[in-house]
Structure formats: C-alpha cells, structure tokens
Structure 1
C-alpha cells in the first residue's frame, strides 16, 4: 500500500478496484492531477489486509472525499470501513463528501438491495459487529447529493469527469486576506469581482467584527484554499 509522510490531501478517493480502477477511476485521477489536485488513491491494499491507521489519517487530512459507489463496492470490507471513516469525518470535521453512483441506483444503496444486499449478507458471519454501522454509512452516502452515471443517459463519462473536477475546484480556489478599512471598498472589491467573473471561487471574510475570535470554519477555509492572496496594506498588521 502506498503511504506518504504527509496526511494532507485535497481529495481522498474511495472506490472498488475491480469495478473502476482501469477506466473511470484512472481517468478521474488523471483529470484531477492535471489541475494540480493532490489525490490520495489507495490502490495497493491486497484482499484480506487490514486498513492501516495511516490510511485513516489520510481520510482525516483530506479536504474532500469522493466515493465511487459501484456494483461491487459493498463486497469489499475495506471499502465499507473507508466509507464509515469518511462519514465520521463528514460529521465531526464537516468534510465535503461527493458520492458518484456509478451505474447503480441510489435507492439500491439506500435500501441495500440487489448486489449491496447480497454483499452485506455474505459479510454477516465474519463481520457481525460491523454490519449495522456499514448499513448506516451506506444509507447516509446514498442520501447525499452527487452524480448518477447510468446507461442511455445521453452523456459520456468524460463529461461527468469534467463536471466532478469543476465541483472539486469550486470548493477551494482562493482565500483573500486583507485589511478592510484599507482596501475593502476599492482594490479588494475590484480584485474579488475580477476573480469571480473568471469563475474563481473566492472566500472573503468581511463579516468578522472587531474583537471577535476567528472561527474554526474560517481556519478550515484557509486550509482548503488552493491559493491564498494576502494584500499587505498600511494598516494590515494593526489587525490581530
């Protein structure tokens, strides 16, 4: 299994290798990397191996988790363990989770019927204590807004991949740090407008009042930005 000394990734990708590794997943990874998105893809875990703590840390360190829910996803116990951790991070860290329903209906996952029901039934004997939490994670994922690839839909996978890449990039383009009294009504305002006109998602914190503490969500916005622009003006350092 590939590991890294860093546990901070833009995107953690959870997928069932036998379903999508050589086609959809590899194309998605390439498209993301071409946009300089740092992707963690766990393609070295062998059947029967336990998921390591370093992999769980990679999930925790990711800004976004993309879950490719394909026909045989639930047949993998480690895919299900990954999904549980991803849902935990969504709840505890407000991590963005983007499901891709890869030629499966969300209702099939939600109700755990067809291949999903069959897979869970096979897991029952060996993983009795995990079945319920796996079911809950699958239901939560199925209820999230995402992409549904289906036969005869009229769009090819390449179009869907471009939409997914755009959604990922939309989450963290630019964080703008500035001293409001110096530049808010002129330079900063014009820069923000110019960036947005080019489709760049700008986080601009102009709602924090004097004396208020910076929130954890604002720090997460800084961590999530691909680029931070700092406008050093005359009174910048007068603001704590």
Structure 2
C-alpha cells in the first residue's frame, strides 16, 4: 500500500455542512415489502450492514395497504444519508412502499440523497414498464381508484397514481444490484456482494456527490468532456481519494488526471507494484507530493489457521477430524486473508 499526501488536514473537516446534513440520524433507510423479504433477504442485509458499522433504519411494523405513511417513517427517510429500495414482486402492491419510494426520490432530487435499488427476483425492465407482478399491482390500484365514489378522493388517488408510476420508472433507471434466481439471493456471498456495492457507492458518493452535482453539469454525453470537468473540480477542491488495486501506469495516470490535485489532497493507492507511484505523472510536477510506502505482509501460520477456522467452524481451532486439511488449506493460501475466506467458502459448498 502506498500513501501519497501533501498536508495533514482531511477534506470534510470544516463546519460548513448544510442544515440537512446536521439532521442526518441514519446512514441508510431500508424500503422493502415485508411479506416478500423481511424474514430472508432484507433481514440478512440489515444485519450485515449493522455488522459493518452502517447505521441502518428498518421498520418492524407492517402497515396495511391504503394506510398513510407514518410520520416517523417520513422523518427517518428525510434524516438518512442514503436509501436502499428492495424492489420485490409485491413491492408495488403496498401503497405504503410506493409512498416511501416517492419521498425517497424527492430527497434524492432536493438533497442529493444516495439511492440504491436492489431488484430482488424482478427485472429492472418490469419495474420501469410496470409489467408482470408490478403491472398487476398497479392495475389493482387503478381499479380501486375508479371504484371510489368520492370525487375528491378519486382525484387525489389519481394524482398519487401518477407519482407512483413516475417513481417506478425513475428508480429502474438508477444504478443498483440485481438479486435474482432460486434462493441464491439469500446466500452470504450474494449479501456480501450487495454490501460491498453499497459500501463502494457510499464511499464514492459521500466524497464526490456534493462537489460534482453542484459544480458540474452531469448531463454530459462526451466522455472526454466529462473527464475534463471532473479534473477541473479536483484541481480546485481538496479531496481524499482511494485508488484500489492499481495494475498499470496508464490506469493510475488516467485516474488522477492531467491537471493535478488541489494542495492538501490525499491519495491512498493500493498496488502490487510500488514503483508505479514514482513513475506516475503526479511526480512529474514541479512540486513532488510527500509520500509514504507501507508494505503489507501476509498472516503468519497461526493467524492464517485461526482465520480459516473462524470462517469454517466458527471457532479459533479446527473441528475434530479436520485439523490436517485445515493446516494444508492455510499453507496453500500463504497468509492471504481474502484467499482464505474465498477458499473456505468454496470448500464448504462442496461438502
């Protein structure tokens, strides 16, 4: 790992955040249809996020279709940095879920709230076009609206229908995760994939969303023009960036751009080739950045075996009858933590 730095101060340390930021109580608000995913996917995802230290709001109650959104839910949505929307087959059957969706997208437009959809056993196209089970649900809402004898209530329901349909179309166009197919979506691997994607999104957007959306026109079709705009912002604002698993000089140069970074910015670069840093364009400027190299060694034999056993047997020592094979697997991974976790997962799945 190589750390490049110019000053000790970190971005985001000033007290000039907005009033909306000060009122944020949660990292993530989870919107989901309880009957579909509460005791499976959403429950696993919620616990995984909590274990990762992400303060997540999940409502324990199930509201009947037709009831208004509770004030505490509105407050939770408005006081969250991000929302995860688990779009399942019966999500649109709940007017409560649809009201949550509308409010979440309003927060995205007004306050740049991060919104991450997860398409759980549904296709983004079905959400966008409101077809299949989602289409059936919307048709039933329309039928109830047309059966309403009170003209004012029918008009109000009609306006809501328009908001719901627009929100479903919009959320389907956002970048998210697809969790489809059998019960594999409930596996630890799938949950971990979703968590990793969420973490990546939170880390990236929390550092860059405010700067880019306020200072850039995001509706740019030309890649070179978009890249140039990003470079302009990075040269004017102190930032903290992580470049993970850099494999080539061209890749590193492309990521940090040609215009240089604002003084005081910090970069963490992880790479197998530490020579990349001093050969990159950052070191060809008149003022060389201060930098520190940190070499990461693998785990020793004891720690490797301990990590393997934690993942395989939920203990610090091998299960009876598995000591020899555990030692061999630990040696094979040569102290690489991720290799130990992946290999244990593959080995257990074959048992």
TM-score of the two chains, using structure 2 as the length reference? 0.47
Q: Does 1:18 align with 2:35?
A: yes
Q: What 5-or-longer segments of structure 1 have no aligned partner?
A: 1-5, 176-188, 200-205, 210-240
Give me the CA root mean square deviation.
Answer: 3.1
- Tell me which of 110, 125, 137 is aligned to 1:92: 110
Residues 113-154 of structure 1 show CA distances to partners (whole Å, capped at 9, x for unaligned) of 111111111112343221111000000011111111222698
More helix by percentage: 2
- Decide which structure has the larger Cα Rg and report it: 2
CA shift, 1:50, in A, is 2.0
Q: How many residues align?
A: 183
Structure 2 residue aligned with 1:66: 84
Give me the whole-angstrom Cα distance separating, in 2, the residues matched to 1:8 and 1:198. 33
2:73 to 49, 52, 55: 55
Match for residue 130 of structure 1? 160
The answer on whether the counterparts of 2:63 and 2:96 sit within 8 Å (CA) in structure 1 is no
Q: Give the match for residue 306 of structure 2.
A: none
SS of the equivalent of 2:69 reads: coil
Q: Distance in 2 between matches of 1:41 and 1:172?
A: 21
Distance 1:153 1:102 in 2: 11
* Structure 2 portions without partners, runs of 5+: 1-22, 146-156, 208-238, 247-260, 265-351
Deviations 1:36-55 (A, max 9, x none): 11111123143143212221
1:107 corresponds to: 125
Matched, 1:8 2:25: yes
CA deviation vs aligned residue, 1:7-38 (integer Å, no higher than 9, x gap): 61000000000000000000000100001111
Q: Aligned equivalents of 2:38 and 2:183: distance in 1?
A: 22
Q: CA deviation at 1:158?
A: 2.3
Greater CA deviation, 133-142 or 153-162? 153-162
Greater relative CO (CA pairs within 8 A, separation 6+): 2
Residues 145-154 or 77-86, more deviating = 145-154
1:143 to 141, 157, 173: 173
TM-score by length of 1: 0.67
Question: Deviation of residue 64 (structure 1)?
Answer: 1.1
- Contact kept? 1:7, 1:57, Cα under 8 Å: no
Tell me whether 1:39 sits opposite 2:69 in the alignment: no
